[in-house]
Amino acid sequence: MGYIVYILKSEITNRYYIGQTFNIEKRITLHNSPRARWTKRFQPWVLKYFEEYQTRSEVIKRERYLKSLKNIEFFLNSVG
């Protein structure tokens, strides 16, 4: 498995979180743990979308692009 950019959605507040990781399962568990700093206020988080890339530079570029979008829900609806 390569580098992953992902989008999480808070089931409580409907907020979105965009991040990147090498281990998606571990990262989602951390976001939903009491040790999470920012994300613990909006738990539980559900994975809505992810993409895999071969290099870290590719995944960082894609993460920046996703974070620049004005309407992440429109993006999610367009990719299915």
Q: What is the predicted pLDDT for the residue at 20?
A: 98
Q: Which strand ranges, in their side-by-side order, compose the sheet holding 16-21?
A: 16-21, 3-10, 45-53
| Model pLDDT for residues 26-77, shown as the tens digit of each residue | 999 999 999 898 899 999 999 999 999 999 999 999 999 999 999 999 999 9
Number of domains in the chain: 1
| Model pLDDT for residues 11-31, shown as the tens digit of each residue | 999 999 999 999 999 999 999
Indicate the pTM of the whole model.
Answer: 0.93
The CA distance from 59 to 3, in Å, is 6
- Going by the DSSP 8-state scheme, the letter that residue 15 receives in this structure is -
Question: What is the CATH classification number for the domain harbouring 28?
Answer: 3.40.1440.10
1 has a pLDDT exceeding 90: no
The CA distance from 77 to 68, in Å, is 17
Domain span at residue 44 reads 3-79
